[in-house]
Structure formats: structure tokens, C-alpha cells
Amino acid sequence: MVQGITGKEGSFHTSMMLKYGTKVVAGVSPGKGGSQVNGVPVYDTVQEATKEHEIDASIIFVPAKFASDAVYEAVDAGVKLIVVITEHIPVVEVAKFVRYAKVRGSRVIGPNCPGLVVPGESLLGILPSKYFKKGSIGIVSRSGTLTYEVSHLVGDIGQSTVIGIGGDPIVGTSLQDVVIEFDSDEHTEAIVIIGEIGGTMEEKVAQMKRDGKIRKSIVGYIAGLTAPKEKRMGHAGAVVYMGMGTFESKVESFKRANIPVANTPYEIRDILTKIIRK
């Protein structure tokens, strides 16, 4: 289901997702019920859509002011996976809807994320599909464009699943969550983490690896070596406050957990090749 399907982004990416083979069965746009977008029926409310169709995931393209409302609506209708593409949602609102969804058993990915793709199968997001190829690497990233770049660079090995979790300070699905999923996913042979300054999710993953909770090999990359402290680098998440989440602390924790760290995105491929050949 696509919430905000009649908007410019919503309708464009619906067509891209359909082209990729994603089963988009319904769209929601208040006041536009009864119309169609790319052959997909549009409903006024999520509840109307879920009554007519079996919906296991929703993707949200609703503008920031109304995006929280859309998330609550999806959770209340029992949608289990909600991908929030929308950027610029106030952080306190995000914290609240993430909590609400979790308590009711729904998973939120994002906000401010590019979504996810299972190459050759399904695309739930805005990722440009031509850079993905079916393969064995699980990629999880906090940055959109860097996800495309790295997927492109490891293109000959291919990816099992690629997930952009979003760069906001608070996100519904963390690096840890995705790494755990990859660890038990039979199609994933090795995991690539594309991190950046701010927050401590990378450190948490490193700790899990040290504790033996993750069995598969991980390759890490952290953007922000040259980022000055207390300056926001682009989106809201990439800022170091109170010394938490510096480039150094992330790289250090990866190294302590024996997770190889690529100095540049270009090194990721070489490291992966060595790991996979083992």
C-alpha cells in the first residue's frame, strides 16, 4: 500500500515499484478515494484499503506535517511493516510514533530513509533499481546516496537485501535490528554496514559482534572522518553532541570487535572479496 499515492513523489515511485515487480495493491490519499494511480485503486483511508486488500506493508510519501498521522493510521489498521520515506518530521513526533508502533507489533523503517530492496524480487522505496543485483551481501545503511554507491561498487557480487534505515536521530529500525535479521537470513553471506557520525548504533553492533551474538562477517564503513564536532552535516542525525558517536569511537569499536573497517567506500569490495573466498 502506498500512503500519499496521488502526490508527485508517491505516484512516480509507485510506477517505479510496479515496474520492479512489487505488488502494489492499494493507495491512500484522503479525498481522492475512488480514483486510480497507475492502475492502483486509491482509497480515502487506510482502513478502507485494508478492508479490500490484504496488506502486509505500507510505504509513506505523505508531507512531514501529516506523516505522523499516516503512521498512526497504518499501525491502527494493523499494517505490520511501515516504511516512512518522508523527511523533516520533528524528532519528538518520530519518537512517539516509533514507540506506538512497537507496542502494537508494527515495524517502522525510517523516517527519512530510501527504503529497501530485495534484488530481483521486490522494491519498497525510492532506491534506483539499476544498481542492485541478486547476490549474497546484506547492506544496511544510514545514508541514501552512499547506499547506491556501495551497492554499485559491490555490483558483481550482488546483494541479498539492501536497507536504508534513515539518517534521522531517531529511527524505527536500528542497525542492530537489521544486522540480527541478516545474521539469520539464509540468503545473506556477509554484512556491510554503512554508518556515519552521530548516535551510537555502530558501537552497539560492534558490541553484539564482540559478545558473539552475530556469527556472520561484517564489513564496516563510517562517513565523517573530516566532520567537525557540533556541526550538523546535512541531515539531522549526523551531528556529534556531548562527544557521543564520533568517527573515532565508531572505528575503534569496530576494530575492537575485529570488524574490518574500510577507509573509503572503494575498499569495501576488496575486503568482501577476501571474506567470501574464505
Residues annotated catalytic, as ranges: 235
Residue 184 is a binding residue for another protein (CB under 8 A): no
With left for phi above 0 and alpha for psi between -120 and 50, is residue 3 left, alpha or beta? beta
Query: 26 or 219: whose CB is closer to another protein?
Result: 219
Contact 119, 134 (CB under 8 A): yes
Site for another protein in 50-89 (CB under 8 A): 64-65, 88-89
The residue from 19, 234, 255, 256 that contacts another protein (CB under 8 A) is 234
Q: How far is the CB of 45 from another protein (least distance, A)?
A: 25
Lay out the site mask for another protein across 11-40 (x = CB under 8 A, - = otherwise): ------------------------------
The residue from 167, 188, 191, 249 that contacts another protein (CB under 8 A) is 167
Contact 101, 75 (CB under 8 A): yes
Residue with cell 541479498: 160
| Cα 126 from Cα 106, distance rounded (Å) | 21
| Cα 110 from Cα 173, distance rounded (Å) | 7
List the grid coordinates of 134: 541478486
Q: 58 has which bridge partners?
A: 82
Contact 25, 56 (CB under 8 A): no
The residue from 204, 207, 210, 252 that contacts another protein (CB under 8 A) is 204
The residue from 18, 120, 169, 252 that contacts another protein (CB under 8 A) is 169
Q: What angle do CA 257, 258, 261 make, to 5 degrees?
A: 105
Q: Which listed range, 35-43, 115-123, 132-140, 229-237, lies at the site for another protein (CB under 8 A)? A: 229-237
Site for another protein in 86-145 (CB under 8 A): 88-96, 98-99, 114, 126-128, 141-145
Residue 226 is a binding residue for another protein (CB under 8 A): yes
What sign has the CA pseudo-torsion 124, 93, 65, 230? negative
Nearest residue to 179 via CA among 224, 140, 128, 207: 140
Query: 35 or 129: whose CB is closer to another protein?
Result: 129
Q: Which residues contact 213 (CB under 8 A, 6 or more apart)?
A: 180
Alpha-carbon distances of 244 from 91, 201, 209, 233, rounded to whole Å:
18, 11, 20, 15
Query: 215 or 226: whose CB is closer to another protein?
Result: 226
Q: Which listed range, 20-28, 181-189, 207-215, 231-239, lies at the site for another protein (CB under 8 A)? A: 231-239
One-letter amino acid at 26 equals A
Residue 231 is a binding residue for another protein (CB under 8 A): yes
Query: 49 or 108: whose CB is closer to another protein?
Result: 108
Q: Where on the chain is the footprint of another protein (CB under 8 A)?
A: 64-65, 88-96, 98-99, 114, 126-128, 141-149, 152, 167, 169-170, 174, 194, 196-201, 204, 223-238, 241-243, 263-266
